[in-house]
Amino acid sequence: MEFSGKVVAITGAGSGIGAALARAIAKEGARLSIIDRNPEAAQAVAAEVSGVAFSCDVTDETSLRSAISETEAQLGPIDCFVSNAGLGRGQPDHAASASNDDWQLNWNVHVMAHVYAARVLLPAMIERGAGYFVNTASAAGLLNQIGDAAYSATKHAAVSFAESLAITHGDEGIGVSVVCPQYVATPMVGVGEEEAAAHETLLTADDVAHAIIDGVRAERFRILPHPQVSEYTELRAADPDKWLKGMRKLRSIANAKFGTPGPQHFYKLV
């Protein structure tokens, strides 16, 4: 799908990858709806891209539904919906130590928000025989994020839901891409873009935005801004025990080097 002339709505577009994608897609000639729970951030990005802004918590189905219907009232039918909002809190201790609230929040943002968007948009898209979903998961949705079981489990679920969309609706004119980056220099990871210049494994949000545009243009299901993720998924599939051994080794190196490592450390080790 080409973005020129299309109506594109992006969640989590007030920051990071979503904001970079909005800017890059606007340059392609699309009309943008900027959806974020942070109203000032959404307004600022919308002003840059001459788009419309909506303050919306994507875990609230009613609020997301109304951002979608308001977008369509102002810009016309949505051609492409990008479910990109996300968060990473890490786990305080062992793999089951995050609170139930944290697990539920990860589930609601990383999975249910994608379901809500598809639920409201699919009927009209199917009727038109055209529509596109871009769902931002993570390399953690194909592999794992050490130290964040809730993030990893829900990103796996996000990949699975995107697969269900593609299998069920691919023959009805609906395109689906799932975006699975490793580390990206955004506020979520808490490292600046200057770090990306020094580390090959750390991309900028702009790099990811361009990988998404290329992937959607090719209508590729799995978009891997870090190409090495493809090789890692093959290694994991070929020998899960060997892969787990490697992950445990990586975890112990990270623990020895950083104490309590988070995403802001791992790009230095992968």
- Residues with catalytic annotation? 151
User: Which CB sits closer to ligand NAD, 14 or 131?
Assistant: 14
The least CB distance from residue 63 to ligand NAD, in Å, is: 9
Q: Do 180 and 141 meet the contact criterion of CB atoms below 8 Å apart? A: yes
Q: Which of 25, 50, 52, 48 is nearest to 36 (CA)?
A: 52
Q: What element of type H or E holds 20? A: helix 16-27
Closer to ligand NAD at the Cβ: 75 or 204? 204
Cβ neighbors of 142 (< 8 A, separation 6 or more) are 156, 159, 180, 229, 232, 233, 236
Closest to 250 measured CA to CA, from 232, 238, 237, 234: 232
The pattern of x and - marking residues 208 through 237 that bind ligand NAD according to CB under 6 A reads ------------------------------
- Given the rule CB under 6 A, which of 32-40, 72-80, 238-246, 250-258 is the region that contacts ligand NAD? 32-40
By the rule CB under 6 A, 183 interacts with ligand NAD? yes
| Least distance CB 128 / ligand NAD (angstroms) | 26
Separation CA 243–CA 237 (nearest Å):
8
Residue with smaller CB distance to ligand NAD, 199 or 251 = 199
For ligand NAD, the binding residues in 36-55 under the rule CB under 6 A are: 36-38, 41
End-to-end CA distance of the chain: 33
Measured from the CB of residue 54, what is the shortest distance to ligand NAD in angstroms?
A: 9
- Judged by CB under 6 A, which of 12, 51, 175, 261 binds ligand NAD? 12
> Per-residue b/e over 156-190, b at no fewer than 16 CB within 10 Å?
bbbbebbeebbeebeeeebbbbbbbbbbbbbebbe
Residue among 83, 74, 63 nearest 9 (CA): 83
SS3 6: coil
Taking residues 103 to 132 in sequence order and writing x for each that binds ligand NAD by CB under 6 A, - otherwise, the string is ------x-----------------------
Q: Which residues bind ligand NAD (CB under 6 A)?
A: 11-12, 14-18, 36-38, 41, 56-59, 84-87, 109, 136, 138, 181, 183-184, 186-189, 263
